[in-house]
Amino acid sequence: MAPCAQTGSGRLSRGLLLLCALLGTGLCHVAAEADGFSQDARTSPPVAVFNWTAQFVEETYTNITQKCWEFFVDLMRNVTAPELCEWKVISRPYSLLQACLEDWADHLHYGYPNALAEQYIFQSHHRYFHNCTLEHQVYFDPPEDVLLAMIIAPICLIPFLVTLVIW
């Protein structure tokens, strides 16, 4: 069972709450205020300590990321083919996927970015956005041999010019 992070106001963050609603598997529980317990206002309620092994955390994160991906695919069903390259249309599903992957990794102390999250991001680009091109030309670095010549030529030219000025 994965505990859900709480903000200072005692509410789940919007993204985690949305994921919890989608999962519906009882993975998330909101901590309820205990009425009737005479607890000092300066102390916090008891917190359960989990002894999670790395394998359990990885397995949990794998299952949750699969749910994140399924939610993303479901959102992308509403996007038509001509709209796939419009950021205004795809920014919400894409941002929700990224937030889901990142928030759960942070919540489980799994580390982000990680190989599994990158796999889902690459998969989304390969599946949905591979035909998107930029409107303006993208400039790339020149090949290494050309770049090396462009760096070394001025360096070699400086001593010659200094000698010429002194002469």
pTM of the model: 0.51
Predicted confidence (pLDDT) per residue in 76-116, tens digit:
999 998 888 888 999 999 999 999 999 999 999 888 889 99
CA-CA distance, 7 to 161, in Å (whole number)?
65
**For residues 68 and 116, is the Cβ–Cβ distance under 8 A?**
no
| Segment (H or E) for 102 | helix 87-107
**CATH architecture type of domain 54-129:** Orthogonal Bundle (1.10)
